[in-house]
Amino acid sequence: MDDPSSELTFEEALQRLEQIVGRLENNETALDDCIKSYEEGVAIARQCLERLERAELRVRKLRIDSNDDD
């Protein structure tokens, strides 16, 4: 199953997540659409979290490497 959100940059994914939250908070969406939007939002949130975790690991590695140089 292809995930179109996987092609988004981190910033685009956050913006899409904000759009989804706004739509859900609006309370003018049918239940089935709300569920689909919620599922998409959860997938995007997980993707963003994974990207943040990878970035944190990279930063930690850079810190360790720079401390080894001292």
Please give the mean pLDDT across all residues of the chain.
90
Query: Backbone dihedral region of 27: left (phi > 0), alpha (psi from -120 to 50 degrees) or beta?
Result: left
pLDDT of 67: 82
pLDDT band at 28 (very low <50, low <70, confident <90, very high): confident
| pLDDT tens sequence across 40-60 | 999 999 999 999 999 999 999
Mean local confidence (pLDDT), 9-33: 94
Instruction: Give the pTM.
Output: 0.78
pLDDT of 1: 40
Mean local confidence (pLDDT), 54-67: 92
Query: Does residue 15 contact residue 49 with C-beta atoms inside 8 Å?
Result: no
Query: Does residue 13 contact residue 5 with C-beta atoms inside 8 Å?
Result: yes
Query: Does residue 48 contact residue 7 with C-beta atoms inside 8 Å?
Result: no
